[in-house]
Chains A and B, each alone.
Chain A
Amino acid sequence: MTPAGRLIGFALLTLALAGAAMWITRESLRPRESSQEVGLRWLKDEYHLDDATFERVSTLHHDYFMQCTKMCRQLDAADRPLLWRARHRNRQTGDIDDQLSKEQALCGDCEKAATEHLNQVAALMPPEQGKRFLDDILPILQQQRREHDHRVSSSIRR
């Protein structure tokens, strides 16, 4: 092997080892908590939930999380053909309208289920905290719904 070839090989080996060392170091520092656990811990601290209330909120949350994940998968499946419409221009407009109305109905169900869950959580809190909780989270949920709808409709118009 020529000296230049050996030099390049050594540089690549050094980069690979350094990259692996950096990745391992960062991964070892990554928090092990799931987003659910982080979120619930925040809820307990932010709204000063006692242990009994937190227990009930956690149970509600875990039950709802399963339902929410199922809804997300259904939404994802309903959105995919609409978001990919640009790649299938030969499809009939009627198909798109049908899919869009089904998707919107599903979105409505998802939003309703999420709102109900948030109301149930708020009902477990002292009234003032419950109101503060709903004032914080509900607008975000509604905003995310609007952004979702905008993403789907702009994909269809494209």
Chain B
Amino acid sequence: MKAHDPDPLDDLLAQWQVQAEAPPDFHREVWRRIAAETRDPGWVERFAWWLLRPRHEVVILAIAVALAVAWGLTHPPEELNPHDAYVMSISPFDPNHLGGP
């Protein structure tokens, strides 16, 4: 059908006026049906919604970084045994001579 061809239904539709009125509890009914169709959020969603609030995220990140720093401070790298360090520096057969610190 070409775009400019008049459709006999056009005039008829233009004259059509809807007389019906929405029932008084129409909106409430719509929301009730939407609620009835929506499934309850699982624990993952509820936990994610609780956790992923900006303030909670910042607090958790700060706690994680603080714990990591505390662990690092209480577990410093092992110090080289001075005797072994001397042997390492003079022995060509010491496996760590080339790769040693």
B101 located at the interface, meaning its Cβ lies under 8 Å from any Cβ of chain A in the complex? yes
Which B60-95 residues have a C-beta within 8 angstroms of A? Answer: 60-61, 64-65, 67-69, 71-73, 75-77, 79-80, 82-83, 85-94
Known A-B contacts A4-B44, A35-B101, A42-B85; the reply to A110 vs B69 at CB < 8 A is no
What number of residue pairs across chains A and B have CB atoms under 8 A from each other?
140
B80 touches A18 (CB 8 A): no
* A153 nearest CB across to chain B (Å): 14
A141 touches B91 (CB 8 A): yes
- Which B-chain residue is minimally distant from A31 (CB atoms)? B79
A75 touches B92 (CB 8 A): yes
Number of interface residues of B (CB under 8 A): 40
A14 touches B98 (CB 8 A): no
Q: Which residues of chain A have C-beta atoms less than 8 A from B64's C-beta?
A: 14-15, 17-18
A42 touches B86 (CB 8 A): yes
B101 touches A34 (CB 8 A): yes
B29 located at the interface, meaning its Cβ lies under 8 Å from any Cβ of chain A in the complex? no
Q: Which residues of chain A have C-beta atoms less than 8 A from B79's C-beta?
A: 31
Number of interface residues of A (CB under 8 A): 56
Task: Select the stretch in A48-56, A64-72, A123-131 that faces chain B.
Answer: A64-72
A22 touches B97 (CB 8 A): no
Chain A residues close to B by CB (< 8 Å)? 3-4, 6-7, 10, 13-15, 17-19, 21-27, 29-31, 34-36, 38-43, 45-46, 61, 64-65, 68-69, 71-73, 75-76, 107, 110-111, 113-114, 117-118, 137, 140-141, 144-145, 147-148
The list of the 6 closest CB pairs from A to B, nearest first, reads: A25-B72, A39-B86, A42-B82, A3-B48, A144-B93, A18-B68
